[in-house]
Amino acid sequence: MSDFRIGTRGSALATTQTGIVARALSAAGAGDPETLIVKTEGDVVTGSLAALGGTGVFAASLRQRVLDGGVEVAVHSLKDLPVAQPEGLSIAAIPTREDVRDVLVARDGHTLDNLPTGSVVGTGSPRRAAQLLAARPDLRVADIRGNVPTRLRRVKGLVLEHDDPGSVGRERAGDLDAVILAGAGLDRLGLQRFVTERIDPHVMLPAPGQGALAVEVSSATAAADSPLTRALLVLDDAATRWAVSAERALLARLEGGCAAPLGALAVLSRTGSLRVDAVAVSPDGSRSLRRHASAQVQDLAGALALGERLADELLAAGAAQLMGTNPEGEKP
């Protein structure tokens, strides 16, 4: 008999992340986990679920299972969760964040500086595309989709040991010079050996919440005093929670979904000073606005306020127009 059930999406990254959290919760006294793979949204999403979804459509079915009691715990990549927290659910733990940086995986060991002119770099993220073109306007961007192994396989000459049965378009293997991915995902999957450069955040700011996991439970579970909730408290890292909360407060204020060309990174120093860096880029990378703000913060509210203040500075400088989103005007 297991002591708690933990739900995950079925991708390699999702099951790996869930395994990490399940083991950590056990080690912190939550007992034995049972892992349940929750089918993709297409299998279970109904009308009402769509309301949970939006940009978080991938998380929606997992969240539904927490709400209906099918699992006690769900593990998400924080950056994939919409900023609005659904009723009845609570992010009970945000474990210590890992590498926040985007990484380049390029053929022949290339880095951003020495990729040949005209090289084709794959990413599905407007944020990565815009910052890439800002740094290297001579490169070309290919819009790519799919899970991590599928995207890696697009790089010329790159050989993965195991085939990914769910992958699409194997005929397109090796058609790109490079791809950009989150370093944290590759690290967790044990695929670090393919990284040819960890891109400095001065060059490319990550997505709000990148590199952090969100461990979600129902509000009822969160309110109880149980071995599980005590373990969740152990797993939660306040410095990470404050940092990602500042980034997400900024994102919310700028009304940027995951599709906005917006990067943000907050870091809490040991002395309690929080520094937030953010960039809004025009989709073609030709214009960008970069700002930062720092403040001593005593609590989560202070972190949220700093993120909002920086968002207001960016908005005042024209960030919404630059990104092609305009909170006051028409939807893009």
Q: Is 243 in the site for ligand PBG (CB under 6 A)?
A: no
φ/ψ of 106, rounded to 5, equals: -120, 155
- Nearest by Cα to 251 from 87, 123, 132, 84: 84
287 in active site: no
- The one catalytic residue in 9, 127, 188, 253 is 127
**Is residue 263 part of the contact set for ligand PBG (CB under 6 A)?**
no
Question: What is the pattern of x (binds ligand PBG, CB under 6 A) and - over residues 170-199?
Answer: -----------xx-xx--------------
Residue number, 181 or 262, with CB nearest to ligand PBG: 181
Residue type at position 315: L
Q: Name the residue nearer to ligand PBG (CB basis): 173 or 181.
A: 181
* Helices marked H in the chain: 12-25, 41-44, 47-53, 57-67, 126-135, 148-152, 183-188, 219-223, 227-235, 238-253, 300-316, 319-323
**Among the listed residues 56, 122, 208, 211, the single contact to ligand PBG using CB under 6 A:** 211
Ordered strands of the 89-93 beta sheet: 33-37, 4-8, 73-77, 213-218, 89-93
Closest CB to ligand PBG among 86 and 209? 209
Selected binder of ligand PBG within 61, 196, 210, 288 (CB under 6 A): 210
80 binds ligand PBG (CB under 6 A): yes
CB within 8 Å of 297: residues ≥ 6 apart: 242, 268, 272, 273, 274, 303, 306
Q: Site map for ligand PBG, 93-132, x if CB under 6 A?
A: ----------------------------------------
Interface residues with ligand PBG (CB under 6 A) are 77, 79-80, 148, 181-182, 184-185, 210-211
